[in-house]
Amino acid sequence: MTDHASDTPQAAKGQGQAMWGGRFSAKPAELMQAINVSIGFDKRLWAQDLAGSRAHARMLISQGVIASADGDEILKGLDTIEGEIAAGTFPFRDEYEDIHMNIEARLRELIGPTAGRLHTARSRNDQVAVDFRLWVRDACDRSVGQLEALQKALLAQAEAHADALMPGFTHLQPAQPVTFGHHLMAYVEMFGRDASRFRDARARMNECPLGAAALAGSPFPIDRHQTAASLGFDRPTANSLDSVSSRDFALEALSAASITATHLSRLAEEIVLWTTPMFGFIKLTDAFTTGSSIMPQKKNPDAAELIRAKVGRILGSLTTLTVVMKGLPLAYSKDMQEDKVPTFEAFDALELALLAMAGMVADLTPNTEVMAKAAGAGFSTATDLADWLVRTLNMPFRDAHHVTGSAVKTAEGLGVDLADLTLEQFQAIEPRISQDVYAVLTPAASAASRMSYGGTAPAQVRAQIARWKEVLA
Ligand code: ARG
């Protein structure tokens, strides 16, 4: 069919002449091509580009803008191209700059000059806008799925260890006993909000820019509602200038990704801490650790460290695209071609981090004895003593706090825990303290007593696990 193609004046200009080359008499400089070419990275949009082209072609046919026979030829050609890409035989060529012109050029080789009718009522500006939106929408959907898988891994561990005591920290100092299940469920909440941010972003971005054409809309009788519906969008975008010049849908997805990455990095940091022998709270198997080439005893939590670091790349992508977009006059500018690499990189990193974190969470085994022992250290039930003084002796909390402080000071001086003080020692501080006080001084009693909604009592933790299981079912 290449002979057909050479009938057109445009194609007659021969190899290397760009598709927009009508008014040009010389080829671009090599450096111009080097800075301009994007096929190396935007080939990742091939599926979205084909989907957009099919929706556009079908609409042009049903609106009578192009003849059915031409439209069918175009659709068949697009099928062939899809087969070639799937088979790895499609020629991605730098000389055709980007994915849009690579596909159109190949279509012309396959079906001849009819290929040129596909670009009626369309521009690369609305084409790339719809392709990229479709890609980001898919990325948001994938992130939601990966977040839910991670939540399920956390839920399984939380359910298995709903009663397992561990120290709860503030300032990374022992604060009050909590359960391991409760601690893990905190991340289930965070990742749940992350998933909802991706859902919100998706809902807001789900408008179709196709048909905005270059910037001003089209004089052809196109049906933008049809193309929007056929690509799964809720409606067409309502302003053609905005359609081709906005990338806030990507910024929003990247900010959701950045927040997710900060949550991942916090859990990763805890895994790093918990696996160090100084904590010894959890163990990872060989599957999620690496050894040292010099220190035979080492088992390093590299996956956790790399997840902790990914936030740099992901937040960097948000920064990159924000700076690219800042100060751009309406409508399209080529600056916007720089939207893809950071977005692809961010979601590649996020996907890997989410999958690795889910794997690592499923892999970990808590050392419940070590954690329970640590749960009682550092006078972690001091608040329980103060609360007991308030409840039993009707003391104002501030006074109870002071009495408890004295008890801690005494115990610390003797090198013992609060529960090891004798009744006489307690009564020397506050004569009304009775034997009952010992019941509230164990970490288990402390945790079990925190029955307020969302508290660490195992019964509360189980209720939240049950709720989340239903949400994620
Ligand atoms: N490769 C371009 C991009 O990614 C496609 C749009 C180009 N439009 C144009 N008028 N040069 O942004």
Q: Are strands 235-236 and 207-208 parallel, antiparallel or unpaired?
A: parallel
Centre of ligand 1 from the C-alpha of residue 12, in Å: 24
Binned at pLDDT 50, 70 and 90, residue 24 comes out as: confident
Q: Could you identify the atom of ligand 1 that is nearest to the CA of residue 334?
A: 12
Instruction: Pick from 19, 32, 98 the residue to mutate for probing ligand 1's pocket: most ligand atoms within 8 Å of its CB.
Output: 98
Residue nearest atom 11 in ligand 1 by C-alpha distance: 334
Residue nearest atom 1 in ligand 1 by C-alpha distance: 98
- Cα 426 from Cα 433, distance rounded (Å): 7
Residue nearest atom 2 in ligand 1 by C-alpha distance: 337
pLDDT digits (tens, 9 = 90+) for 428-439: 999 999 999 999
pLDDT digits (tens, 9 = 90+) for 74-92: 999 999 999 999 999 999 9
Centre of ligand 1 from the C-alpha of residue 104, in Å: 14
Centre of ligand 1 from the C-alpha of residue 332, in Å: 8
Residue pointed to by tokens 């529960």: 419
DSSP state of 19: T
- Cα 227 from Cα 364, distance rounded (Å): 48
Q: Are strands 282-283 and 173-179 parallel, antiparallel or unpaired?
A: unpaired
- Nearest by Cα to 264 from 300, 308, 227, 302: 308
Instruction: Pick from 135, 337, 340, 344 the residue to mutate for probing ligand 1's pocket: most ligand atoms within 8 Å of its CB.
Output: 337
Residue nearest atom 4 in ligand 1 by C-alpha distance: 337
Are the C-beta atoms of 227 and 127 separated by less than 8 Å? no
Question: What does the pLDDT read at residue 26?
Answer: 86
Residue 327 has which token pair?
């100060």
Catalytic residue among 196, 292, 333, 434: 292
Q: Is the pLDDT of residue 403 over 80?
A: yes
Give percent above pLDDT 70 in the chain.
Answer: 96
> Which segments within 248-292 are labelled E, that is strand?
282-283
Residue nearest atom 12 in ligand 1 by C-alpha distance: 337
> Which residue ranges have their beta carbon within 6 Å of ligand 1?
38, 42, 98, 124-125, 128, 332, 334, 336-337
The continuous run of DSSP H or E covering 89 comes out as: none
Are the C-beta atoms of 234 and 144 separated by less than 8 Å? no
Binned at pLDDT 50, 70 and 90, residue 159 comes out as: very high
Centre of ligand 1 from the C-alpha of residue 65, in Å: 24
- Nearest by Cα to 283 from 263, 304, 265: 304
- Over range 284-297, report the average pLDDT: 86
pTM greater than 0.85: yes
Q: Could you identify the atom of ligand 1 that is nearest to the CA of residue 340?
A: 4
The phi and psi torsions of 422 (rounded to 5 degrees) equal -75, 165
Q: Could you identify the atom of ligand 1 that is nearest to the CA of residue 98?
A: 1
The phi and psi torsions of 274 (rounded to 5 degrees) equal -65, -30
Q: Could you identify the atom of ligand 1 that is nearest to the CA of residue 132?
A: 4
Catalytic residue among 25, 171, 293, 452: 171
HSE of 192, CA atoms in CB hemisphere, 13 A: 16
Instruction: Pick from 46, 127, 334, 343 the residue to mutate for probing ligand 1's pocket: most ligand atoms within 8 Å of its CB.
Output: 334
Centre of ligand 1 from the C-alpha of residue 435, in Å: 79
Residue 243 among the catalytic residues = no
Q: Could you identify the atom of ligand 1 that is nearest to the CA of residue 97?
A: 1
Binned at pLDDT 50, 70 and 90, residue 299 comes out as: confident
Centre of ligand 1 from the C-alpha of residue 131, in Å: 11
- Nearest by Cα to 45 from 108, 106, 103: 103
Binned at pLDDT 50, 70 and 90, residue 3 comes out as: very low
Binned at pLDDT 50, 70 and 90, residue 17 comes out as: low
Residue nearest atom 3 in ligand 1 by C-alpha distance: 337
**Residue-averaged pLDDT of the chain:** 94
- Over range 450-463, report the average pLDDT: 97
Centre of ligand 1 from the C-alpha of residue 330, in Å: 14
Centre of ligand 1 from the C-alpha of residue 207, in Å: 20
Instruction: Pick from 124, 215, 321, 335 the residue to mutate for probing ligand 1's pocket: most ligand atoms within 8 Å of its CB.
Output: 124
Q: Is the pLDDT of residue 453 over 90?
A: yes
Binned at pLDDT 50, 70 and 90, residue 28 comes out as: confident
Residue 123 among the catalytic residues = no
Query: Quick one: CA dihedral 170, 173, 176, 181, positive or negative?
Result: positive
- Cα 384 from Cα 466, distance rounded (Å): 28
